[in-house]
Amino acid sequence: MLEAGGAFGIYPEGTRSLDGRLHRGHTGVASLALSTGAVVIPVGLRGTERVQPVGRLLPRLARVEIRFGTPLEFSRYEGLEGAPAIRRAVTDEIMDAIADLSGQIYVDSYHRRPDEGRDAA
């Protein structure tokens, strides 16, 4: 899809935020951008917690603000897509842009999935 010039949507966090903060992104978004040369358009969402609050099974009608950022391109890293440090740097740049657009507080740790830790209790 990306190599053909199409668009592809991905949430770098990998799950919904349960605490309203923006957590560390997984590097899959960087891998895709670097391996295909695709431009990344960061998107920040505001108000999603009103649409489907934590613990609620069904969404409700509420206004959500969608903010599109300046396209990001990473051609300066051409040929380096296999380097973990480069993938992390690209992911962090994307997450910084999303944080600016969404107004969320950024947390430099991966978000715990809702089903993680249940057996540990």
Mean pLDDT confidence for 80-91: 94
What percent helix, strand, coil does the chain show, rounded to 5? 30, 10, 60
Q: How confident is the model at residue 44 (pLDDT cuts 50, 70, 90)?
A: very high
Task: Inform me whether the pLDDT recorded for 120 exceeds 60.
Answer: no
pLDDT for the residue numbered 113: 64
Q: Mean of the per-residue pLDDT values for the chain?
A: 87
Domain ranges of the chain: 23-107
pLDDT one-digit tens code per residue, 10-43: 888 887 788 888 999 999 999 999 999 999 999 9
**6 — phi, psi (to 5°)?**
-80, 175
Supply the pTM of this predicted model: 0.84
pLDDT for the residue numbered 114: 60
DSSP string, 63-103: --EEEE---B--GGGTT-TT-HHHHHHHHHHHHHHHHHHH-
